[in-house]
Amino acid sequence: MFLCSDFSYRPMDDREIVTYRRESENPVEYRLFIANQTLHILFDDPHTWRGRIFRPADGLEAFFSNRVCLEHLIEGLVGRRVWPQYRKQVLTIFEQFQVN
């Protein structure tokens, strides 16, 4: 299961699988739900792909300096077996992130 829920409530559409949730404005923070993982992504600056990703389940934290690095970190955090199934959906969400 892949889910990235939006901050505001709206009824779930069976066809809609991918949305995102912006947690805060400063720092810019998003929460991703991928398979059985919850990941928090915090951007240092709302205009750059630089920040950290945090997995609350075990306290694992990693830093990223660009979009490709963030993609690789998510792959490592959710697992290589699961990643191919959700990669395209995550990249679609990256397009929705309000980061330049």
The domain total for the chain is 1
Model pTM above 0.75: no
The DSSP annotation for 20-44 comes to -EEEETTTEEEEEEETTEEEEEEES
Compute and round to an integer the Cα radius of gyration of the chain.
Answer: 13
Structure tokens at 49: 């792909």
Domain that holds residue 46: 2-96
Given the structure tokens 């830093």, which residue do they identify? 63
Instruction: Give residue-wise pLDDT tens across range 21-69.
Output: 666 666 688 888 887 788 999 988 878 889 999 999 899 999 999 999 9
CA distance linking residue 50 with residue 52, whole number of Å: 7
Among residues 64, 72, 1, the alpha carbon closest in space to that of 34 is found at 1
Structure tokens at 94: 């990256």
Task: Tell me whether residue 41 is exposed, middle or buried, using C-beta atoms within 10 angstroms of its C-beta: 0 to 12, 13 to 18, 19 or more.
Answer: buried
Instruction: Give residue-wise pLDDT tens across range 3-19.
Output: 444 333 334 443 334 44
